[in-house]
Amino acid sequence: MKEFVINRNDSGQRVDKFIGKAAPLLPKNLLYKYIRLKRIKLNGKRCEISTRLAEGDVMQLYINDEFFGGGDIASDFLYAPTSLGIVYEDENIILLDKKCGLVVHEDDSGAVDTLINRVKHYLYEKGEYDPAAENSFAPALCNRIDRNTSGIVICAKNAESLRILNQKIKDRELHKKYLCVTVGIPPKNADTLTAYHIKDENSSTVRVFSKKVPGSRTMITKYKVLKTDKSRNIALLEVELITGRTHQIRAHLAFVGYPLLGDGKYGINRINREYNIKTQALCSYSLQFDFTTDSGCLEYLNGRIFTLDGVWFTKLFESKNCAK
């Protein structure tokens, strides 16, 4: 039997969600069965899977040790560096400047050096995160960007902030803007583009269509031209996503004839080689908190805007050899 005292980061969760994290190897059919048989109890009594946990509650799990998992997976983050580009930090969140080339979460390569592992190690060294003291929570990223895209990533340092931010993102109360450099200059200084998007899992690319086709999803991309260099046929754009599809900016701009400089999937490799650039010139450079509903412990962030300087993009208009 294992007993868990519900702390602040565990509170508010449903019983089944908590058990899924505390005993990750327990199959769902057994979870339901053990609740019926009272082998899973809340405060010494039978509970329902939908019961919401409160701070101070006691969960008792009379289940085999094999369902709790083993090894020292929780401390793998200690092998990651602690170096981070911190844009902003307080007791609830960290805004991070993710550099090009760093993955946000572990991928198929199994690399330990990920953005989230760096955050965990950083907070561990500060004494703000100890996996041994947590039943089910770990610091978590609220948004993700591609390995070869740079920019602002949001990390929640506690469960309440994570729940709020995830809901705010879903309700579109956080606004992100991107900087990118295109090969080719759009004819309009500003426009809102609409197309249809299908993700191809086999090739890790997307296909774009001008009309709706079976299985496609609408994508809407808004852009504004900030700067142009007609002699080299490139433009600096500020882009805002009205929808959030995989590779949306890269695929959508390429579809209308203005691929991102450096993009190996949707761009023009001959021109990329001329500029000595091997990754897409794309950065999530601005984040605005624009809450219109209750924001709980994060109300103080409402109305605030955080930006990166985008200096690297300006250099594209100063020198032809623009290797990062």
Domain boundary among 117, 151, 170: 170
Question: Which tens digits make up the pLDDT trace of 228-260?
Answer: 999 999 999 999 999 989 999 999 999 999 999
Same domain, 17 and 136: no
Host H or E run for residue 226: strand 217-229
Same domain, 146 and 252: no
Host H or E run for residue 104: none
Regions of the chain with pLDDT less than 70: 69-74, 108-110, 310-314, 316-324
Output the pLDDT for position 173: 96
Output the pLDDT for position 257: 96
From 146, 171, 200, 294, the catalytic residue: 146
Same domain, 252 and 299: yes
Name the CA dihedral angle for 168, 170, 175, 179, rounded to a multiple of 10 degrees: 140
What is the CATH classification number for the domain harbouring 278?
3.30.2350.10
Same domain, 165 and 204: no
On whether residue 112 sits in a domain, the answer given is yes
Domain boundary among 107, 138, 170: 170
Same domain, 161 and 272: no
> What is the domain count for the chain?
3
Q: Which residue has the tokens 């560096």?
A: 81
Output the pLDDT for position 207: 94
Question: Which tens digits make up the pLDDT trace of 44-59?
Answer: 999 998 999 999 999 9
49: containing domain: 2-68
pTM over 0.85: no
Output the pLDDT for position 324: 46
Same domain, 181 and 263: yes
Q: Which of 283, 215, 285, 219 has its CA nearest to residue 255?
A: 219
Concerning whether 107 is annotated as a catalytic residue, the answer is no
On whether residue 32 sits in a domain, the answer given is yes
Output the pLDDT for position 225: 96
Same domain, 107 and 163: yes
On whether residue 324 sits in a domain, the answer given is no
